[in-house]
Structures are given as C-alpha cells and as structure tokens.
C-alpha cells in the first residue's frame, strides 16, 4: 500500500500548489481523466487476483475520492481568491457624487396639447381619437366636402398608392381631425361633447406651415346649442390658456362642414413685432368654427331635425407659437436639442387644471 500512499501525497501536493483554475483542470485530467494515472491504476484491478483486488480496490477508490475532494476544495479556494482580488481592484467609493444625468424636456407641442386637454376637460369635454390614415369617405365625403373642392387636390392632400386596376378611392393622410368627430358620432350618438387632438397632414411648407402638424377639433351636440355657446366656450378656453381675459370676434366665413361658419379672431396688440394676447385694439385670426352642417350630422347617424351643435378647429402648434413666442413653425420638427432645451418644459411644468 506504500505505492498508493506515495501516489496520494504526490497528487495532493500538486493540487495544493496549483495557482489557477486552468492548471487545476490539467491536474484533474492527468490524475482522473480517461488516461489519468489513477484511472489507469483502476484498470489494473482486472489483472489482479481476487485477494489482491479485495485489498487494492478499496484503497484505490479511497484515493480517487480524496483526490476528487481535494480538486473541488482547491477550485472553490481559487474562486474565492479571484473574487477577493476583483473586489480589491473594483472597489467603489459610495461617498463620491453621482454622475451628472441629463434631464429631458417636454416638447412644446406635448405641453400645449396637455394644457388644451386639461382646459377643455375642465369644461366637460372628453378626448376622442381616430386613425391618421383615413378613408376618402371619413376625411371628405362625410364632412360635406364636394369632389371639386381644392382640399381634395393632390397639391394639398397626401394620397396613398392603389395597385393598378384597384378602382377604390385611395386612402389619405388625414388633413384634419374632423373624421374623428364622424366616427365618434357613429359610435356614440348624441348628445356629445368631445375634443379630438392629433397629427394631421397637408402638402404645405413655409414659416407658418409644415407637412405634418397638430390640431385639436371640438364638437358639442345637444338639442339647444347655439353660436352663443360656441363663443362662450372659446372665450373661456382662450382666457384660461393665455392666463388673461381674452375677447373674440366672429367673422362670417364658409366651410363645407359648418353652416353658418365663422372665422374667429382674438384681441391682441403688436409691440416691436411681438404679439400680446388679451389687450390692445388689434385682432388675430386663430381658428375656424360654426354650427355643424345638417349633412355632417346625417353622415354621423344623427337626426339634424332633433339635434344641433357647434364645431371648431385650432392649430396646436400655432397656439404654442403665440403663447411661448416661438417664431418659426419648422423648428418644431428639426430635432435640434438646443432649441428644445430653450423652449422645452420640465416635467413639473405640466399643467394641473382638472377639477378635483
């Protein structure tokens, strides 16, 4: 058995002296691998007599188990030592100041949309939404816009492509959020009081127009609604939005979807090229409005002999320009971080005008 004792001391010493896990693995293969020294000794048991096997077998099994245990223990010790070294090298001083984290800004369009929604919600208006890609019916026909109307020309409206031989009217990128009003009337009927904010698209691009912009349209339908109600709602909205009493002036106009129709101006003054809302003797056109046309009510499934209502549409981007002194509409969509840091809003600046 002296030979096995020597073998045990040899491998235990080698294992104890292993400096890393790679060399430890080499020792495991050399001792217990398929052609390892101890494995080969185990094979020699078949060549021994029964009496020799009774003595050598238990001794070899004990040697194999002891070497295995030594390998496992050494591997754990090497892992602990490596972790200790890593912790020493990667220590962190938790008392140091944290890295500076840049704070994002609320885009003026998002800010004004939230302000507008809060003000109208305070007056009992719900928010309705609809698809940005609309059918010809919802975007034009249901709104009493005739086929020869300039708004239906390709120079004004973005049309989607139809495959050759497909004679259906092409879909459009909605030119206003008025289709939301038709869809809401179809689904909910009357009475109703909603606003429909969202993106709209028109083929126009200059200092005050962009191919994509934002609108909010309002709709109120009941049995005794009049233009007087419309004027009150708009003056309440503008006064709350601009933070000062704002007078409005209605001028007769024409829109296919309202009758009578009116352009709405707000009181303002011009000083040094800057407009100030709610004071002075000047007027600034801001929106179109009117009483909903009977054909539009019919298209929405509402009896115009029983119900009537008003509608209006306001440009959200234009409201942002007026309130926050932003001169060029195109800058809203340039993705310039310097512009956004200047005109953007902190999250705590978001309005809280809802009634508790």
Query: What does the block give as tokens for 97?
Result: 């100041």
- Phi first, then psi: give them for residue 322, nearest 5 degrees: -65, -45
Distances (CA, A) of 269 to 207, 242, 250, 274, 311: 21, 14, 18, 8, 27
Spatial separation of the C-alpha atoms in residues 118 and 351, rounded to whole Å: 7
Alpha-helical segments (H) within 18-144 = 21-32, 37-43, 50-89, 108-122, 136-139
Handedness of CA 190, 195, 200, 205 (dihedral sign): positive
Decide: helix, strand or coil at residue 315.
strand
CA 53 remoteness from chain centre: 76
pLDDT string in tens for the chain (356-residue length): 456 777 777 878 888 888 888 888 888 888 878 777 777 777 777 777 777 777 777 877 787 888 888 888 888 888 888 888 887 888 777 888 888 887 888 899 999 999 999 999 999 999 999 999 999 899 999 999 987 777 777 778 888 888 888 888 889 999 999 999 999 999 999 999 999 999 999 887 766 678 889 999 999 999 999 999 999 999 999 999 999 999 999 999 999 999 999 999 999 888 877 888 888 888 999 999 999 999 999 999 999 999 999 999 999 999 999 898 888 888 888 888 888 888 888 877 766 554 43
Query: What does the block give as tokens for 170?
Result: 């092409």
Q: What is the pTM of this model?
A: 0.68
Distances (CA, A) of 329 to 20, 55, 213, 293, 321: 66, 96, 9, 32, 7
Query: What does the block give as tokens for 322?
Result: 């007026």
Burial 204-217 (b: 16+ CB within 10 A, else e): eeeeeebeebbbbb
Q: Which residues contact 25 (CB under 8 A, 6 or more apart)?
A: none
Decide: helix, strand or coil at residue 189.
coil
Handedness of CA 240, 243, 216, 336 (dihedral sign): negative
Quickly count helices (H) and strands (E) in the chain.
11, 10
Spatial separation of the C-alpha atoms in residues 226 and 50, rounded to whole Å: 114
Alpha-helical segments (H) within 262-315 = 294-299
Strand-pair partners of 198: 215
The confidence score (pLDDT) of residue 208 equals 64
In terms of DSSP bridges, do strands 282-292 and 172-173 run parallel, antiparallel, or are they unpaired? unpaired
The confidence score (pLDDT) of residue 356 equals 35
The confidence score (pLDDT) of residue 99 equals 83
Residues 265-275 have pLDDT tens digits of 999 888 877 88
Spatial separation of the C-alpha atoms in residues 182 and 136, rounded to whole Å: 13
The confidence score (pLDDT) of residue 305 equals 94
Query: What does the block give as tokens for 327?
Result: 């001169």
**What is the CA angle 197-181-315, rounded to 5?**
35
Alpha-helical segments (H) within 106-256 = 108-122, 136-139, 178-188, 227-242
Query: What does the block give as tokens for 336?
Result: 């310039």
Whether residue 221 contacts residue 297, with contact meaning beta carbons closer than 8 Å, is answered with: yes
Strand-pair partners of 127: 195
Q: Which residues contact 204 (CB under 8 A, 6 or more apart)?
A: 156, 210, 211
Instruction: For residue 202, give the nearest of 190, 194, 210 by alpha carbon.
Output: 210
Spatial separation of the C-alpha atoms in residues 353 and 16, rounded to whole Å: 74
The confidence score (pLDDT) of residue 354 equals 43
Distances (CA, A) of 207 to 113, 213, 246, 314, 332: 21, 12, 26, 18, 11
Distances (CA, A) of 296 to 161, 181, 182, 293: 27, 9, 8, 5
């Amino acid at each position: 058995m002296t030979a096995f004792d020597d073998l045990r001391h040899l491998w235990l010493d080698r294992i104890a002296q292993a400096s890393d896990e790679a060399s430890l693995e080499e020792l495991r293969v050399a001792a217990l691998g398929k052609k390892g020294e101890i494995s080969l000794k185990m094979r020699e048991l078949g060549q021994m007599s029964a009496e020799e096997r009774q003595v050598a077998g238990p001794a070899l099994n004990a040697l194999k188990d002891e070497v295995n245990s030594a390998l496992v223990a050494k591997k754990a010790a090497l892992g602990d030592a490596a972790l200790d070294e890593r912790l020493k090298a990667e220590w962190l001083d938790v008392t140091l100041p944290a890295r500076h984290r840049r704070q994002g800004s609320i885009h003026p369009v998002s800010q004004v949309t939230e302000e507008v929604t809060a003000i109208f919600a305070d007056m009992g208006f719900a928010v309705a939404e609809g698809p940005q890609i609309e059918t010809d019916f919802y975007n034009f026909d249901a709104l009493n816009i005739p086929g020869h109307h300039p708004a239906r020309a390709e120079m004004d409206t973005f049309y989607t492509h139809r495959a050759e031989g497909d004679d259906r009217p092409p879909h459009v990128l909605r030119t206003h959020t008025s289709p939301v009003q038709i869809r809401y009337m179809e689904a909910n009927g009357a009475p109703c009081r909603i606003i429909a904010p969202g993106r709209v698209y028109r083929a126009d691009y200059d200092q005050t127009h962009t191919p994509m912009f934002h609108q909010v349209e309002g709709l109120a339908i009941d049995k005794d609604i009049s233009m007087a109600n419309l004027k009150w709602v708009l003056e309440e909205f503008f006064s709350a939005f601009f933070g000062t009493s704002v007078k409005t002036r209605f001028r007769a106009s024409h829109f296919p979807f309202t009758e009578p129709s009116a352009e709405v101006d707000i009181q303002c003054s011009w000083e040094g090229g800057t407009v100030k809302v709610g004071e002075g003797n000047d007027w600034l056109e801001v929106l179109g409005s009117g009483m909903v046309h009977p054909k539009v009510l019919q298209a929405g499934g509402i009896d115009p002999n029983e119900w009537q209502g008003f509608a209006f549409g306001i440009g959200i981007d234009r409201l942002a320009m007026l309130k926050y002194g932003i001169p060029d509409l195109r800058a809203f969509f340039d993705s310039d971080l310097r512009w956004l840091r200047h005109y953007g809003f902190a999250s705590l600046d978001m309005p809280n005008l809802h009634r508790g």
